[in-house]
Amino acid sequence: MKNLKLVFVLLFLFGIVSSITAQREVVQVYPKHGTVVTKVHKPKVVVHNKVNFRFADGVWYKPRGSKFVVCAAPVGIQIRHLPRGNKVVKLRNGRKVYKYKGIWYKKQGRGYVVVNV
């Protein structure tokens, strides 16, 4: 009988721990291209071809009036730091590039440039 009580207590504690950790999971959803937003959270402003793009959490935004539109990363635009979670990929020619959410970057000087691969 003691063993049975111990098993129930352990199962109960395991259930509590697993429900607490399950509630802490965060799922990031990246907006589709063309989505219009009114505010970008902690953006970095990057000027490219006289346009002030916003870059936040690996997503690129282009200004449209007082709002912002999610857009593809402009080829040739340069950023100082890569987003967290990027993957290093070695190409056949030995060149190293970095990939994040379908956007390819290559190291150039002190920063990284968006490229086509």
- pLDDT for 64 equals 93
**Nearest 5 degrees, angle CA 26-CA 31-CA 32?**
145
Let me know: does 59 contact 79? Beta carbons within 8 Å: no
- pLDDT for 85 equals 87
- pLDDT for 71 equals 92
Let me know: does 53 contact 61? Beta carbons within 8 Å: yes
- pLDDT for 22 equals 60
pLDDT tens track, the chain, 117 positions? 677 787 777 777 777 767 666 656 666 677 888 999 999 988 999 999 999 999 998 899 999 999 999 999 999 999 998 988 889 999 888 889 999 988 999 999 999 999 987
State both tokens at 67: 């709002």
- pLDDT for 76 equals 93
